[in-house]
Amino acid sequence: MTNRIYLDHAATTPMDQRVFDAMAPFTMGMYGNASSMHTDGTRVHEAMDNARDQLAGALGASASEICFTSGGTEANNWALKGIAFANRHRGNHIIVSSIEHDSVLNVCQWLMKQGFRITFLPVDGEGMVDPLSIEKWISPETILISVMHANNEIGTIQPIGDIARLAHEKGIYFHTDACQSFGKVPINVSKQPIDLLTVNAHKIYGPKGVGALYIRKGVVIEPILHGGGQEMGMRSTTENIPGIIGFAKAAELCLEEMEPERARLNDMRNRLVRLLEEGIEGVYFNGGQEHCLPGYLNFSISGMEGESIRLALLLDEAGISVSTGSACSSNHNGNPSSHVLQAIGRNPFEARGAIRVTMGRFTKTEEIGIFYEKISEINQSLTSIFHR
Ligand SMILES: Cc1ncc(COP(=O)(O)O)c(C=O)c1O
């Protein structure tokens, strides 16, 4: 795997060595069960408490408001199903944005079968939800609004503070999926009336298979797993201690390094935008440039939309990893149209043809230059085949 250029950090990130080092003692020597009362257990419990404090601090929450999960998918499932079933007596209507991750959208499809009514909010050409437009969708039956903090395909960052305030004014819970944004841009639940928030570790140079749901004190929600009563009785199962320790360390590092890293990633992204604009005819960008996650760029080449998979495969052969959409959508057969690109106004053909480049902590400026050289070479050779 050495010498490859990895530009798919929205799918997952490499683990930081410092995270690995923090986890290592808990994978072998410190193996106690955090629920055991002997020294092996209590030491591990203490470490877990510290990790919970650390993650809570990173979000502006209290430790008792953080429940660890197996990842973002589980936390999103829990937020939506847990609120829906605990608050059914108040209403059966939920509002989500139309560009949510599948771990929200597919839960909504399932909830519809259970008798819930779901409104899918439209977004503008940059992928932004207009907070002022939400009011007209709210009914006395509305119990939850869920809008992701930042999108995984185009990187658009939503005005979640405004949406959360509107929800609160109406007595409606607000959930946000912050899997893509956490650690990259500031987020603080003590400054914004967010009731539930999803995060995970593998997007921030931490381990896979661990995440968390922030649940504001007083929120009425059903538990996700019934059993021995771990995680304040809300999610029973023996805790994934190495994962939890790694998650907290990863969050700490992201917060410490956020500002310089944000500037560095944005510089590289701007450089790539300039190179593509100047060097590739017909290139266009999907999503806004202003309210966008650092280092995220989603673009298409006019007339080549149907060839995006071929482009990505040829880049792969050349040693460069990029994505044609979200990593999860590649679990579908074939090359489906992206629901995100369609929501921002692309037609179904255009919505099949994007390249997503997402840079990260270990991306070097030279690699952006190499990516640009390769993609223009491949584009030129494909164009000459098609226009012969
Ligand atoms: C926005 C968003 N939400 C949720 C998830 C799911 O997270 P996990 O892979 O930890 O289940 C992802 C990961 O792809 C994501 O990008």
CA atoms of 202 and 182, how far apart (whole Å): 11
Pairing of strands 117-121, 296-301: unpaired
- CA-to-CA separations, 5 to 90, 164, 374, in angstroms, rounded: 51, 38, 11
Q: How far is the CA of 8 from the centre of ligand 1 (A)?
A: 14
Residue pointed to by tokens 């749901």 = 213
Biggest CA–CA distance in the chain, Å, is 75
The CATH T-level fold of domain 17-253 is Aspartate Aminotransferase; domain 2 (3.40.640)
Per-residue pLDDT of the chain in tens (388 residues, 90 and over written 9) = 568 999 999 999 999 999 999 999 999 999 999 999 999 999 999 999 999 999 999 999 999 999 999 999 999 999 999 999 999 999 999 999 999 999 999 999 999 999 999 999 999 999 999 999 999 999 999 999 999 999 999 999 999 999 999 999 999 999 999 999 999 999 999 999 999 999 999 999 999 999 999 999 999 999 999 999 999 999 999 999 999 999 999 999 999 999 999 999 999 999 999 999 999 999 999 998 889 999 999 999 998 888 899 999 999 999 999 999 755 555 554 557 899 999 999 998 899 889 999 999 999 999 999 999 999 999 999 887 766 4
User: How far from the centroid of its chain's Cα atoms is residue 257's Cα?
Assistant: 19
Report the nearest-CA residue for atom 15 of ligand 1.
179
Report the nearest-CA residue for atom 4 of ligand 1.
72
Q: How far is the CA of 317 from the centre of ligand 1 (A)?
A: 27
Q: How far is the CA of 179 from the centre of ligand 1 (A)?
A: 6
Nearest CA to 206 out of 353, 55, 317 is that of 55
Nearest CA to 121 out of 76, 104, 215 is that of 104
The CATH superfamily label for domain 5-12+258-386 reads: Aspartate Aminotransferase, domain 1 (3.90.1150.10)
The CATH 3.40.640.10 domain(s) of the chain lie at 17-253
The CATH 3.90.1150.10 domain(s) of the chain lie at 5-12+258-386
Under a CB-based contact definition with an 8 Å cutoff, are residues 192 and 175 in contact? no
Q: Which residues line ligand 1 (CB under 6 A)?
A: 71-73, 76, 101, 103, 148, 152, 177, 179-180, 200, 202, 211, 327-328
